[in-house]
Amino acid sequence: MTEIAQLVLNGIIAGTILAVPAIGITAIYAVLRFPNFAVSSIATMGAFAGYVANVSFGLPAAAAILVGFLLAGLVGVVSDEIVLKPIRRNGLLAAAIASVALTLALENVVRFFFGNDLRSYDLPIARDWRFLGLRIGPQQVENLAIALIAMAAVFLFLAFTRMGKAMRAVADNPMLADIKGINADTVARIVNFAGMGLAGIGGMLIGLDTSIDPLTGFRAILSIFAAAVLGGLGSVPGAVVGALTIGIAEELSLLILAPPYRSAVGFVAILLVLTLRPRGILGERAY
Amino acid sequence: MTDYLVAMLTFAALYGLMSLALNLVWGMAGMINLGLVGFFALGGYASALLTHRFGLPIPVGLAAAFLFAGACGVVVALVTARLRGDYLAIVTLGFAEVVRIIASNEIWLTNGTDGISGIPGPLRGEVPPATFNLVYLLIVLAVVAIAFFLLQNLRHSPFGRVLRAIRDDDQVAAVAGKWVIAFKIEAFAISSGMLGLAGALYGHYTSYIAPDAFVPLVTIYIVLALSAGGTGSNLGALCGALLIVFFQEGTRFIAAWAPGLGAVQLAALREIAISATLILILRFRPQGLLPEKLPRLAKR
């Protein structure tokens, strides 16, 4: 019983962290209408930018994560502007294909400079806390807090700022938004910056828990897309619900499956939800 | 040198078979498949296990590879048939990853990351290696020629016309009374089966398969072959496959005299070059080198 409770607790933490990149990818989908697979290597880049800030420049993890956010967002905007945006005119599926090529290229840029070795962040060593027979590490709590702050910022941005409202308008009805004078290009740039920035935070949060290498983001891509599809591709609250479901399901799967099959859980979840309820748990509304 | 050319042509033919398979779904029916390597792997393992472990004849292994990969294709296509194409992109990408995870971890079945070695090949061991390579090249070329001939016929048949109609506008095809979902699933199944067949032929040729051989980079190679050759054109698919092998070998020679870089860095640069080429083609010449020529309407 305690074991299951521990797994659920781990799942909630993992799911909250997973929600950050899942929100990023679902927001980009809501506005640009194609699955951008570049998210996996941009998450890796965020993790490595945070690593450099943390290990080479001695910033604490919470500050280094901001560096990860900024670099990932920047790479997201620039790569979209140069690579994906012109290809979107030839078709959204062509852009999806190009995003796979893009993610492979970016992953290898990381590999070129850092090699394939596993790297760990410079973190203070701390003893796990215990309560009611459950264990939780201070770093896990910090990660949870960072993820929650990032999510709160997204919801406040979407609910209260002019740009957030414009973004929801474009996601809801691009033609109507255009008539109202909302500049779709600006919205696309902002959503790319914020979405890929969130992916960068997600990559670093995943790395803080274990270690990082050029495949950090790629290993998480099935879980990230599973979270987004489960909640309804294009729905921000859906991504949170989906991420928590996937996080808990992946941890509970350890009861019956070997650890390498964790990421297969996401795939099974995608198959199930597409067969039973293709719109996802919360449907396709952006907000 | 002859041995080298024979080996390169064999790989080009295998890429050609896969690129023809991709042309059937992506070029003709407009369905995306980002998990090509997953079906390729399924076929490779199916045939390797049947012939190596159970001692069945190689043709049985090849047929089983085609059927098994095709059946998995049906399942993948069924799940996403009624949804927009981007879901198929996500599902196929995930499918290939799950195949690789299973191949790496079900050691009792696939021998895990060590892979399966000693896969039999036709006449292997009975004739000198050079002769085996030549015979095998002829076998693969024959398979590619048959596939090309059948697909060329299919392209001009009513079935091919419906697929192109679905690609250009599936609602119009549906209004014209075509059962769109059935056509899509059939096309996807045949294509997956062909990929499985290519995987089986690969295994019997190299005599060794392991999860390392089934990475997403292979999918990129095939997409690049078809995009470079000309999406929608079977001849383009074959030319693209030949180009890919030139490209692969060319970058290998350049890598041989690049100074001061480690092996990992060289591999990274190669993958960057390949991805960048695909991006450039999608950007500047989406129709490829040999653009699809639509069959002319009969003159009245």
Chain A positions touching B87 (Cβ under 8 A) are: 229, 233, 274, 278
Chain A nearest CA to B212, separation (Å): 14
H or E, element range at A259: none
Chain A nearest CA to B10, separation (Å): 25
State residue B299's pLDDT score.
47
Q: Which of A29, A85, A93 to substitute to test the interface with B, most B CBs within 10 Å?
A: A93
High-pLDDT (> 90) share of chain B, %: 67
What part of A 226-255 touches B (C-beta under 8 Å)?
226, 229, 233
Give how far Cα B113 sits from Cα of A116, B40, B106, B147, B214, Å: 18, 17, 9, 32, 11
Give the integer Cα–Cα distance in Å for A231 and A26: 9
- Please write the tens of the pLDDT for every residue from B219-248: 999 999 999 999 999 999 999 999 999 888
Give the integer Cα–Cα distance in Å for B93 and B284: 25
Please give the residue of chain B at the shortest CA–CA distance from A108.
Answer: B268
Give the integer Cα–Cα distance in Å for A242 and A269: 10
Q: Would the pLDDT of B144 be above 90? A: yes
Mean of the pLDDT values across residues B77-88? 85
Beta bridge partners of A212: A119
Please give the residue of chain B at the shortest CA–CA distance from A273.
Answer: B79
Residue among A102, A222, A229 minimizing CB distance to B97: A222
Please give the residue of chain B at the shortest CA–CA distance from A257.
Answer: B105
Q: What band does B295 get if pLDDT is binned at 50, 70 and 90?
A: low
Give start and end residues of each alpha helix (H) in chain B: 2-22, 36-48, 58-80, 85-105, 107-110, 129-156, 158-168, 170-175, 180-206, 216-229, 234-256, 263-284
Q: Is the CB of B85 less than 8 angstroms away from the CB of A93?
A: yes
- Please write the tens of the pLDDT for every residue from B250-290: 887 777 777 778 888 888 988 899 899 999 999 998 888 88
3-state SS, residue A83: helix
State residue B300's pLDDT score.
46
Q: What is the mean pLDDT of each run of 10 residues along chain A (287 residues)?
A: 89 95 95 94 96 93 93 97 93 92 96 93 84 84 93 92 89 86 90 96 92 93 94 91 95 91 90 84 60
State residue A286's pLDDT score.
45
Chain A positions touching B100 (Cβ under 8 A) are: none
Chain B nearest CA to A134, separation (Å): 30
Predicted TM-score (pTM) of this structure: 0.91
Q: Hey, is the C-beta of B281 within 8 angstroms of any chain A C-beta? A: no
Chain A nearest CA to B209, separation (Å): 20
Contact A224, B90 (CB under 8 A): no
Q: Hey, is the C-beta of A257 within 8 angstroms of any chain B C-beta? A: no
Mean of the pLDDT values across residues B5-32? 94
Chain B positions touching A34 (Cβ under 8 A) are: 86
State residue B1's pLDDT score.
79
Q: Which of B79, B97, B212, B279 to substitute to test the interface with A, most A CBs within 10 Å?
A: B279
Chain A nearest CA to B78, separation (Å): 9
Chain A positions touching B102 (Cβ under 8 A) are: 264
Chain A positions touching B216 (Cβ under 8 A) are: 100, 104
Chain B nearest CA to A281, separation (Å): 16
- The CATH number of A2-116+132-276 is 1.10.3470
Give the integer Cα–Cα distance in Å for B236 and B231: 7
State residue A283's pLDDT score.
66
**Residues A257, A260, A261, A264: what is their CA dihedral angle, to the nearest 10 degrees?**
170
